[in-house]
Amino acid sequence: MKKIILTILALFLFFINTVTDVEASQTSKEYKIAATDGFTLRAVLSYPKTKGQKEFKTVVLLHSLGYTSTWWGDLPAKLAEKGYAVLTIDLRGHGGSVYNKNLAKVSWKSMTKTAYAKYPSDVAEIIDYIKNENPKKSFFDDWAIIGCDIGASAGVMAADKLKYKPKTIVMLSPIVQTKGLYIPVSIAQLDSVDFLSITGKNDPVSKSAQNYLKKFAQAGFEEYECNANTTGILMIKSDPELTTVITEWVGSYLD
């Protein structure tokens, strides 16, 4: 028993040291951005501390409904290890994105469909803001989106709004329509973007959505069933292999 405990402790310390090393090699900037309606949106951009580097391949992470950008597990660190910039966004009503123009706190639990309808614009505005605030650095020439359920929907619709398109979009537990966000039309209009759709083992709802959405894809649309018995962002922690699957998929487009 003592040997097992020591082995677990050693693995834990190895993981902590690895994460610390990655963080030490990164520059992180927190952004508080006012949306068009004055709602404060929080995002964090991390990128390698490489002297003279001006161009970065970037991955945008959009979490599940009811969670925050802190729930991504080791995925951001794994992406950082590959040299990517990582932009994590707290969707409106979640995490650090909870204050309206009157500084009143607003939770996703009490939001209307009108508020949820602003998610794609929120994401597009954040990306545009960061692009414009860093004129000497390039973050969105080669980039990708990873989103979970409503985060995936927001990412797809935001990409449709932006003039510069991602190379690929990864959707975990995709949804055809949620909170008024209907994505088939946007998928059809992203005619140069390849998709990876990920579902859990026992998730007939996402599988049905996946089968419907692939009909609208004009480029590639790959399907992957992971070993998780859950949905959305929780699949990252439930299936340890999923981080590798996602990282390798993104790498095939950005490397």
CB atoms within 10 A of CB 53: 13
Distance CA 248, CA 255 (A): 10
Answer yes or no: is 19 within a domain: no
Q: What is the pLDDT of residue 50?
A: 86
pLDDT value, residue 22: 56
Indicate if the pLDDT at residue 3 is higher than 70: no
Instruction: Check residue 36 and give its pLDDT.
Output: 96
Domain span at residue 126?
27-254
Does 119 map to a domain?
A: yes
Please give the pLDDT value at position 15: 38
Q: pLDDT digit string (tens) for 142-164?
A: 999 999 999 999 999 999 999 99
Is residue 12 situated within a structural domain? no
Distance CA 61, CA 65 (A): 13
Establish if 55 belongs to a structural domain. Answer: yes
Start-to-end Cα distance in the chain: 44
Q: What is the CATH number of the domain that holds 59?
A: 3.40.50.1820
- pLDDT per position as a tens digit, 82-102: 999 999 999 999 999 999 999
Identify which of 204, 191, 211, 252 has the alpha carbon closest to the alpha carbon of residue 231: 204
- Which candidate, 164, 159, 151, 211, places its Cα nearest to that of 190? 159
Burial (CB count <10 Å: 0-12, 13-18, 19+), residue 177? exposed
* Number of domains present in the structure of the chain: 1
Instruction: Kindly tell me if the per-residue pLDDT of 107 is higher than 70.
Output: yes
Residue 200 pLDDT exceeds 90: yes
Q: What is the residue type of 96?
A: G
What average pLDDT does range 49-55 have in this prediction? 89
Over the chain, what is the mean pLDDT? Answer: 92
CA 48 to CA 157: how far, in whole Å? Answer: 28
Q: Confirm whether 59 is domain-assigned.
A: yes
Answer yes or no: is pLDDT of 18 > 70.
Answer: no
Where is 229: in which H helix or E strand? Answer: none
The continuous run of DSSP H or E covering 64 comes out as none
Task: Write the pLDDT tens digit of every residue in 64-84.
Answer: 999 999 999 999 999 999 999
Task: List phi, psi (to 5°) of 77.
Answer: -65, -40
Q: What is the CA radius of gyration of the chain?
A: 18
Percentage of residues of the chain with pLDDT beyond 90:
89
What would the mean pLDDT of 114-121 be, rounded to a whole number? 98
Q: Is residue 17 part of a domain?
A: no
Q: Residue 116 to residues 30, 67, 109, 153: CA-CA distances in angstroms?
A: 23, 15, 11, 11
* 61 domain-assigned: yes
Q: Is residue 11 part of a domain?
A: no
**Predicted structure pTM score:** 0.90
Report the Cα 194 to chain-centroid distance in Å.
16
| 177-181: average pLDDT | 96
Quote the pLDDT of residue 143: 98
Tokens of 255: 């490397």
